[in-house]
Amino acid sequence: MIKILIDPGHAPGNTNKGPTGYYEYQGVWTISSYLKEMLENKGIQTEFTRTWDQNPDPYERGQKAAGYDLFISEHTNASGDGRARGVEVFYDYSKPQDVEFAQQLADNVSSVMGNSSRGAKTRVYTESGKIYNYYGVIRGAGATDCKHIFLIESGFHDNADDEAFLKVDENLRKIAQAQAEMILKFLWVNDMTVQEAEKVVKERAGLDDNTMQYLKYYRYGEALLIKLAEDMEH
């Protein structure tokens, strides 16, 4: 069974807000709740990192991702000057295969918000020659066996246009829906194992062993094989 952990990014008392009354902790709680309901309707076991008034530190939230297929931390953004708009998705730098997943999450949410996609991003720092994910939630989840780890910024609440969108409950449902669509698409694709995908691609496309080897040497070869196999099966 697929298991997903949603992190509603901030707790009551957090002061991140837009110029005309939107509060990030409220908005992301609503998005998280809609997303949970949508995923559960598809038979996916979905949990939160926290209750409404709990406020675990970011690393601790991430660590709860042990045993989950996907972890997503829900946020809305701020640039400081109110000029930036758009959606961006951070992923674990040590999982480069998630770049496409993160990109499509950002693209799909920006298309319902009517702003631009800022795309898939990683953010890291280096300490004593070692690289670490910048965000505590991603670092914490990255220390577990969780397969896909994301932090999504669904719009800029300090931008007048994005804030106006975020203040409408029905729009928060649309954001959750756009996220759910991509999560379902990518997790069901990855339901197929690499071995199963190899077999399908080899047989359907009539490829020889050498060609199969070349495909697997490609950096994203395993993900590509699964994608090809999925398309061939449909």
Residues that bind Zn ion (CB under 5 A): 9, 75
Encode burial over 140-179: b for 16+ CB neighbours within 10 A, e otherwise: bbbebebbbbbbbbbbbbbbeebbebbbeeebbbbbbbbb
- Name which of 28 and 146 has its Cβ closer to Zn ion: 28
- Name which of 16 and 190 has its Cβ closer to Zn ion: 16
Query: Closest distance between Zn ion and the C-beta of residue 92, in Å?
Result: 18
- Name which of 28 and 192 has its Cβ closer to Zn ion: 28
Query: What interhelical angle do 99-113 and 169-189 show, nearest 10?
Result: 150
- Name which of 135 and 186 has its Cβ closer to Zn ion: 135
Max Cα separation, the chain?
62
Query: Closest distance between Zn ion and the C-beta of residue 24, in Å?
Result: 5
Question: Cβ-closest residue to Zn ion?
Answer: 75
Query: Closest distance between Zn ion and the C-beta of residue 152, in Å?
Result: 10
CA atoms of 172 and 128, how far apart (whole Å): 42
- Name which of 55 and 97 has its Cβ closer to Zn ion: 55
Query: Closest distance between Zn ion and the C-beta of residue 228, in Å?
Result: 37
Query: Closest distance between Zn ion and the C-beta of residue 57, in Å?
Result: 14
Query: Closest distance between Zn ion and the C-beta of residue 121, in Å?
Result: 15
CA atoms of 125 and 110, how far apart (whole Å): 28
- Per-residue tokens: 21: 């009354």
Residue that the structure tokens 């694709």 belong to: 189
- Name which of 68 and 90 has its Cβ closer to Zn ion: 90
Which bin fits 128, alpha (ψ -120 to 50), beta or left (φ > 0)?
left
Query: Closest distance between Zn ion and the C-beta of residue 42, in Å?
Result: 26
Tell me if 97 sits within 8 A of 103, measured CB to CB.
Answer: no
CA atoms of 29 and 152, how far apart (whole Å): 13
Distance of CA 49 to the CA centre of its chain: 15
- Name which of 17 and 227 has its Cβ closer to Zn ion: 17
